[in-house]
Amino acid sequence: MFNHSYSENCLGVILLFMFKNLKNDIPAGIVVFFVALPLCLGIALASGAPLFSGLISGIIGGIVVGALSGSKIGVSGPAAGLAAIVLVAIGDLDGFQNFLVAVVLAGIIQILFGVLKAGVIGYFFPSSVIKGMLTGIGIIIILKQIPHFFGYDSEPEGADSFIESTGENTFSALAHILDNITMGSMVVGFIGLAVILFWDNILSKKGKFFKVVQGPLVAVALGIIFYVLTKSSETLGISGAHLVSVPIPEDVSSFLGQFSFPNFAVITNPDVWVVAFTMALVASLETLLCVEATDKLDPDKNVTPTNRELLAQGTGNVISGLIGGLPITQVIVRSSANIQSGGKTKFSAIFHGFLLLASVILIPRLLNQIPLSVLAAILLVVGYKLAKPSLFKKMYALGWKQSVPFFVTVVGIVFTDLLVGISIGLLVGVIVILMKSYQNSHFLHIEDKSNGKHKIKMALAEEVTFFNKGAILKELDSLPRDTYLELNLLKTRYLDYDIIEILEDFLIKARERNIDIQLVSKRGVVENPTSFVEFFRTRPKSSLSLS
């Protein structure tokens, strides 16, 4: 009786919490829908996959992953970071249906990652790299959306690589905008951008109505009206190449015919397993990075359970692969749009998934009247909020240990792509950590003469690993002849065996250079120890732990 009542109370609290936040989640879900729609189609196009496969993965990412995930504001769907892998894999595996087998297997591998608690990796990404990733993505969004804003739509929406599929790069595409302006797209793009900025900065402060009805929704509605009113105009008319392009089924059978199914006959092909493991690893890392970044953006500072996220992503990928969708990850562009639009619970992500499903079934023709330049205006605002100039000043003020990994990550993402840029940033972040570890391995203090010799105190840090070998070895080798060294280990809890070997070798040099050694540890004081290896080998269990 008690358990039944308790369960009802818990369910009531959950439902009350969800309904309480509907006024935030529904408008946020609508904004995420408009952000996700062109990205799903664009990533499918960039991946060399059917356009409908991008929509499938967006729907599964919203509804299935959104429901299973522990993230309140994260949004999942097809990721630009996997587009190059997918494009190559479809060709190498001789067809999309063979590739779908790898997607299913990748999902199963991700589920295993979650079971094995591999999500803990997400907690070890340096904060400076995460902030650099967010800023780099913001800059990429701005740079990639400017051509679409002016009606230069040669590159698919959602692409993030510096080298574009047309052979241009991010900056050369910007240089060619003036030669490829579509007047109608540019005009409606400026109208949409003005509406969004006016709505966000002025109207949203005037009343609840302007918070419930978001600026991007109004901008899209005006974009459709503009297209309808001007489609016969030679100057302002917008052709189909500059509009959203959702597949339009003629009937139920043609709609169902858009689904593809995996060819499990190739499951014994080693290449399928290589692709599956590659996608599982890349998708998991990208998801964990996005989770860490999303949690930092979250104004309520919720903490996403990373192992549960891997289980949710894996389940989503299994289902997506079974019905013809692209691989799924949590994605920062849609997640940040959700946060910026005021999303509070996972309902906003789930709602955006249902909107994608309903729209491709019920109103594909209406969707195909949305100018891409209006959606570009929405993304430009999202990108600016991720890469505000004040953040650069703040990171610079934190000093080189934070600013260097941050700026390297930003530059790496802009001039390569998301995954390569993050990898470079992580590498630099690790190097900075190693340098800090090198500098902080020990502390020196030189005192007056003791017993006719200069006394030098060397106190080792709390944890001393093989990373510290170089610093300690350099310090020991620089000790002058005829000195008295006090080696203090009172605060040291962990001493790597590599360091013990360095100390052991130093005993020989110390005798040659007339250096007396006093070892101070929790076991007491030892004058001129004969062997450090033997000393630590016979330590009591409560003493230092050795690897």
> Which residues are bridge partners to 446 per DSSP?
456
Where a domain ends, among 425, 449, 475? 425
Q: Is residue 5 part of a domain?
A: no
Q: Are residues 411 and 482 both part of a single domain?
A: no
Q: Are 69 and 348 in contact (CB under 8 A)?
A: no
Q: Are residues 328 and 466 both part of a single domain?
A: no
Q: Are residues 110 and 75 both part of a single domain?
A: yes
Q: What integer pLDDT is reported at residue 547 of this predicted model?
A: 43
Least confident span in 322-331, 335-344, 431-440? 431-440
Q: Are residues 421 and 450 both part of a single domain?
A: no
Where a domain ends, among 425, 455, 479? 425
Q: Which residue has the tokens 């929405």?
A: 378
Q: Are 62 and 25 in contact (CB under 8 A)?
A: no
Q: Is residue 547 part of a domain?
A: no
* pTM of the model as a whole: 0.81
Q: Which residue has the higher pLDDT, 153 or 454?
A: 153
Identity at 2, one-letter amino acid code: F
Q: Are residues 372 and 455 both part of a single domain?
A: no
Where a domain ends, among 399, 425, 451? 425
d(CA 318, CA 273): 14
The total domain count for the chain is 2
Q: What integer pLDDT is reported at residue 538 of this predicted model?
A: 61
pLDDT more than 70, % of the chain: 91
Q: Is residue 444 part of a domain?
A: yes
DSSP E strand boundaries for 304-377: 328-330
Q: Are residues 421 and 444 both part of a single domain?
A: no
> Is the predicted pLDDT of residue 439 greater than 80, yes or no?
no
Q: Are residues 214 and 312 both part of a single domain?
A: yes
Q: What is the side-by-side strand order in the sheet with 483-488?
A: 442-450, 453-460, 483-488, 516-521, 524-527
Q: Is residue 530 part of a domain?
A: yes
Reported as a single tens digit per residue, the pLDDT across 174-204 is: 999 999 999 999 999 999 999 999 999 999 8
Least confident span in 304-313, 322-331, 386-395, 448-457? 448-457
Q: Are residues 466 and 518 both part of a single domain?
A: yes
Query: For residue 32, which of 479, 386, 316, 347 has the smallest C-alpha distance?
Result: 347
Query: For residue 145, which of 131, 134, 160 has the smallest C-alpha distance?
Result: 160
Q: Domain range spanning residue 291?
A: 21-425
d(CA 80, CA 379): 15
Least confident span in 248-257, 385-394, 434-443? 434-443
Three-state SS annotation for 425-493: HHHHHHHHHHHHHHHCCEEEEEEEEECCEEEEEEEECCEECHHHHHHHHHHHHCCCCCEEEEEECCCCC
Query: For residue 336, which of 15, 21, 39, 540 has the smallest C-alpha distance?
Result: 39
- Confidence class for position 398, pLDDT limits 50, 70, 90: confident
> What secondary structure does DSSP assign to 284-295, as a single string?
HHHHHHHHHHHH
**At 518, which CATH number?**
3.30.750.24
Q: Is residue 70 part of a domain?
A: yes
Q: Is residue 15 part of a domain?
A: no
- As a whole number, mean pLDDT of residues 310-314 equals 97
Q: Is residue 382 part of a domain?
A: yes
Q: Are residues 488 and 530 both part of a single domain?
A: yes
Q: Are residues 386 and 451 both part of a single domain?
A: no
d(CA 524, CA 56): 68
Identity at 128, one-letter amino acid code: S
